[in-house]
Amino acid sequence: MAELIGPRLYSCYNCRNNVALHDDIISKAFQGKNSRAFLFSHAMNIDVGPKEDRHLMTGLHTVADVYCSDCHEVLGWKYERAYEESQKYKEGKVILEKSKIVKDNC
């Protein structure tokens, strides 16, 4: 009998709440505050904090921290606005730090 294989997911490392689909990864070549990070086109089961301007490695961005909707652990941030034209592709995308998520069903 064939095994049923569900979607490959990433979950909060603290409570295992599903937060992103593997298929939504845009890049694995990002740096978070504390660890390497993945850029996702979408995330789920997250809460978005207040917007603030931050000077990141690629310039000034308006970002908002994202939190697990279950345990409220900070998982990364959402790019709300990029001020440099070359960085506009990040707008609306979510960074999740590799140290804050775990692979499930992979």
32-88 pLDDT per residue, tens: 888 999 999 999 999 999 999 999 989 999 999 999 999 999 999 999 999 999 999
Question: How far is residue 6 from each of residues 19, 32, 64, 104, 106, measured CA to CA in Å?
Answer: 15, 28, 30, 10, 9
Q: Is the pLDDT of residue 2 over 60?
A: no
Residue 106: the pLDDT is 52
Whole-angstrom Cα Rg for the chain: 14
Residue 5: the pLDDT is 61
Model pTM greater than 0.85?
yes
Q: Which two tokens stand for residue 94?
A: 């979510």
For the chain, report the end-to-end CA distance as a whole number of angstroms. 20
Residue 104: the pLDDT is 84
CA distance 56 to 59: 5
Instruction: Report the pLDDT averaged over residues 93-98.
Output: 97
